[in-house]
Amino acid sequence: MRISVAIDGPAGAGKSTIAKLIADRFSLMYINTGSMYRAVTLKALEKGISPNDTEGVCTIIENLNMHFNNDRLILNGEDVNDLITVPEISHNVSAYASIKEVREKLVKLMQQMAKEYDVIMDGRDIGTVVLKNAPFKFFLTASPKERASRRYNELTSKGLDVVYEEILKDIIRRDDLDTNREVDPLRKADDAIEIDTTGIGIDEVVNKIASFIK
């Protein structure tokens, strides 16, 4: 039987950092589902297709080949991770991620990956929709200010010129869109373990999650 671990939570809660470490510890494949929505956003913006054009966005997805190499998303043979983590994509992604047809297609792809590999997936609806039957579900949170300063440090360490207040504003706006959308909103699954990571070190969170999986 395949093992699956679901990690959900709002933007910047530390999901990807924690998921990567758990993946290494338990030899799981790490699937960053946010990067899949980000990849669709990247291609849609490149082609000038708005989130109102459902058919146009769906055509884009049909022509995309996505797979993961370690924790990196490979899109049509190209490593696009640096292109999809910039603020412009973060600002636009929730609009594309709220399209029902887009979610149906990507969720199918995610479920296929979970059939083929032992996975840890992070996102917004992994415990509630994508891997509803996952034996291990976690919901990570942290205060908006802490999440914004983590994202600020992440982006500035990559050499990007960003403003803390704008990141904070964008994170709050994105959480609101993700939580209040009609299709598969950001929500803690009833059987998920919630961990507030405000002021807590990465190792402590990883050890806590690992103690449940063991």
Residues contributing to the site for ligand CDP (CB under 6 A): 11-12, 16, 33-35, 37-38, 90, 93-94, 97, 123-126, 174, 178
Cα distance between the two ends of the chain? 16
Q: Which two tokens stand for residue 24?
A: 């290494």
User: By C-beta, is 51 or 123 nearer to ligand CDP?
Assistant: 123
What is the closest distance, in whole angstroms, from the C-beta atom of residue 29 to ligand CDP in the complex? 16
What is the closest distance, in whole angstroms, from the C-beta atom of residue 170 to ligand CDP in the complex? 9
What is d(CA 186, CA 94) in angstroms, rounded to the nearest whole number? Answer: 11
Please give the backbone phi and psi of residue 31, each rounded to the nearest 5 degrees, phi first. -115, 110
Contacts of 53-58 with CB under 8 Å at 24 or more apart are 54/99, 54/101, 54/102, 57/96, 57/99, 57/101, 57/102, 58/101, 58/102, 58/105
140: nearest Cα among 189, 72, 90: 189
User: By C-beta, is 91 or 208 nearer to ligand CDP?
Assistant: 91
What is d(CA 61, CA 137) in angstroms, rounded to the nearest whole number? Answer: 28
What is the closest distance, in whole angstroms, from the C-beta atom of residue 91 to ligand CDP in the complex? 10
What is the closest distance, in whole angstroms, from the C-beta atom of residue 107 to ligand CDP in the complex? 8
What is the closest distance, in whole angstroms, from the C-beta atom of residue 82 to ligand CDP in the complex? 14
User: By C-beta, is 33 or 141 nearer to ligand CDP?
Assistant: 33
User: By C-beta, is 92 or 214 nearer to ligand CDP?
Assistant: 92
Q: Which amino acid is at 29?
A: M
User: By C-beta, is 20 or 124 nearer to ligand CDP?
Assistant: 124
